[in-house]
Amino acid sequence: MTGAPGTRQRYAVIVVGSGISGLFVALEARRLGPVLVLTKGSIDDCNTRWAQGGIAAAVGPLDSPEQHLADTIAAGAGLVDEEAARILCFEAPARIRDLVRYGVSFDSLGGEVALGREAAHSRARVLHAGGDQTGAAIETALSAAAMDPAITILDHTLVTRLAVEEGEARGVEAVHLQTGEREWYEGDAIVLGTGGAGQLFSHTTNPEVATGDGVALAFDAGAEIADIEFYQFHPTALRVPGLPTFLISEAVRGEGAVLRNLAGEAFMQRYHPLADLAPRDVVSRAIVREMRREGSDHVFLDCTGLKSVDLAARFPAIFAHCMEAGIDMRVDPIPVAPAAHYLMGGVRTDTWGRTTIPRLYACGECACTGVHGANRLASNSLMETVVFGKRVVEHLAAGGGGAATATPDRIPFPAPSTAAPSHRELQAMMWECAGIERDGPGLERGLQTISGWPARQPGACTRGAFERQQMTTVAALMLTAALRRTESRGGHYRSDYPERDDAHWRRRQVFIRA
């Protein structure tokens, strides 16, 4: 059911966010009692809908959870939490069955599920639906299933504060954006499923809602934030003047497409033995270097050699979007450049989705389970949402209680007292100062820029003003963590410290509000 805020009511579970993590938790939790889903946009306004490539699970006859785990650990650059990653990889096949039960129809070939291969995977293990529309297919199926009397969905409802009383999360404060009405909602458990923070950057594959709200809400409430310096930039986003950024799935390279510079040279073999299927951080930096060398803002993704692949059928959304831009990917190379894509860090949780605040849980991109380490393995993100979303509900069904153990050496950090004057100014600053290649002076300049912005306005209730406050908090955390980490690892690259330093930095940074 859907509606608008009304009489104060208590729920078994309050879910903040309506992407795959939020809806999956809501569907699984409805057996525990009434569930409330709050989302600041419409129900389908989320990162999930834009996920093209697919969802990773070891379901093929030549694959195994052990090999999936090995690939996940290798991609994570020494910082993967192996217990969490083992849970992800071994529980993945069962979660695929759950999605099928909720109405997701994965693509098949010859009567068997079709499996694609993406960067840093040693096997073809990526399931997809509707070709390159996997996220949309999952979101559509879960949205339909969530039209249930046990689930109340309030869209255009912005959560502005987590209520923590006597050390426990007890509810949320929210404002209905269409009426301006404020409301308190009480819950036995609060689950954050708010997605990522791609809107921190001027070039991103993320939708407008991805402003890091869940991370900032949890930080303000006193939860721990971990690995916030690690941001993944997707190597291949459409770069055409005057057109918005559009993701060109890694699955295209998985089918055999080749990156070429303006001279037509296939360059990735110079940077990594896996060439075009190297880890995303390697490919993104290689593209940046080729662009810098040639004085260009793009390279080309060449699909013209894929004669055995029906590109229009395999990648219908990408094919149609490119055609609208005047590019026939069957005969024309696609101009691409990296764009901000995925936040590896976030609200620190344990393997049951518990944060360090009792009764407050998090899952999906806003959470930091540790499975991604410093660099996410392609298509593990959608799987992470359902694996740990399931575990959140399993923990609640068993009685809940407790919290993630506090980190002994967590770093106190004062919330910024300023807020970005505009989204555009914040995005430009973060792209310049905390983008694909970082250095100490640039990171310090970013922090100085934040300190010079106007003072925060208490009680800001418009969506734009609230988002700028949340984005400023996440930006300050990211800049600080990146400045402290004097090495390069995974999605964090420092040109002034270009080497990985396991002796000093094979550890996570965890922040807590001072």
Other C-beta atoms lying within 10 Å of the C-beta of residue 269: 13
- Is 280 a residue of the active site? yes
The listed range with the strongest mean pLDDT (2-16, 266-280, 431-445) is 431-445
Q: Which of 53, 88, 141 is nearest to 372 (CA)?
A: 88
- Taking all residues of the chain, what is their mean pLDDT, rounded to a whole number? 93
> Does residue 212 surpass a pLDDT of 90?
yes
The model's pLDDT over 95-145, given as tens digits with 9 standing for 90+, comes to 999 999 999 999 998 889 999 888 789 999 999 998 778 888 899 999 999
Q: Which pair of structure tokens corresponds to residue 426?
A: 């914040």
pLDDT band of 459, cuts 50, 70, 90: low
Distance CA 493, CA 491 (A): 6
The rounded distance, in Å, linking the Cα atoms of 249 and 318 is 8
Residue 221 bridge partners (DSSP): none
CB-CB contact of 511 with 224 (8 Å): yes
Map tokens 């791609």 to a residue: 198
Tell me the pLDDT tens digit for each residue of 466-507: 999 999 999 999 999 999 999 999 999 999 999 999 999 999
**pLDDT, position 251:** 85
- Encode pLDDT of 289-331 as tens digits: 999 999 999 999 999 999 999 999 999 989 999 999 999 999 9
Q: Which stretches of 198-357 are DSSP H helices? A: 213-221, 250-254, 280-294, 311-314, 316-324
What residues pair up with 492 in beta bridges, in sequence order?
489
Closest to 94 (Cα-Cα) out of 135, 132, 55, 146: 55
Give Cα 340 to chain centroid, integer Å. Answer: 10
> What's the confidence (pLDDT) of residue 45?
60
Rounded Cα–Cα distance for residues 57 and 369 (Å): 18
Lowest mean pLDDT among 191-200, 228-237, 459-468: 459-468
Amino acid 278: pLDDT? 87
Side-chain-facing half-sphere of 453: CA atoms under 13 Å: 26
- 460 — pLDDT class (breaks 50, 70, 90): low
Percent of the chain with pLDDT over 90: 87
Q: How confident is the model at residue 2 (pLDDT cuts 50, 70, 90)?
A: very low
* pLDDT score, position 131: 79
**144-186 tens-digit pLDDT:** 999 999 999 999 999 999 999 999 999 999 999 999 999 999 9
Catalytic residue (one of 95, 125, 280, 348): 280
> Average pLDDT in the 266-287 region?
93
Q: Please write the tens of the pLDDT for every residue from 72-102.
A: 999 999 999 999 999 999 999 999 999 999 9
Considering Cα of 11, then 16, then 20, then 25, what sign does the dihedral take?
A: negative
Of the candidates 145, 161, 194, 177, which has an alpha carbon nearest to the alpha carbon of residue 16? 194
- Given pLDDT bands bounded at 50, 70 and 90, which one contains residue 53? low
State residue 257's pLDDT score: 96
Q: How far apart are CA 33 and CA 191, in angstroms?
A: 15
Q: Would you state the pLDDT for residue 52?
A: 55
CA distance 479 to 443: 6
pLDDT value for 117:
86
Tens of pLDDT, residues 429-445: 999 999 999 999 999 99
CA–CA dist 142, 335 (Å, integer): 34
Average pLDDT over residues 57-75: 96
The predicted-structure confidence for 249-265, as pLDDT tens digits, reads as follows 888 998 999 999 999 99
In this prediction, residue 3 carries a pLDDT of: 45
User: Quick count: other Cβ atoms within 10 Å of Cβ 97?
Assistant: 11
Q: What is the mean pLDDT of residues 34-54?
A: 73
* Percent of the chain residues past pLDDT 70, beyond the cut: 96
**Residue 124 has what pLDDT?**
93
Length of the chain: 514
What pLDDT, on a 0 to 100 scale, did the predictor assign at position 273? 94
Q: Would you call 413 helix, strand, or coil by DSSP?
A: strand
The answer to whether residues 15 and 385 touch, using CB atoms and an 8 Å cutoff, is no
Query: What is the rounded distance in angstroms from the CA atom of residue 215 to the CA atom of residue 174?
Result: 16
Instruction: Check residue 4 and give its pLDDT.
Output: 45
Radius of gyration over alpha carbons of the chain, in Å? 22
Q: Which residue has the tokens 């037509």?
A: 264
How many C-beta atoms lie closer than 10 Å to residue 289's C-beta? 16
250: number of CA atoms within 13 Å, CB side? 33
What structural domains and CATH numbers belong to the chain?
A: 232-338 (3.90.700.10), 415-513 (1.20.58.100)
* CA dist., res. 56 & res. 433, Å (int): 32
State pTM to two decimals: 0.94
**Rounded distance between C-alpha atoms, residue 251 and residue 116, angstroms:** 7
Please give the Cα distance from 395 to 46 (Å, whole number).
26
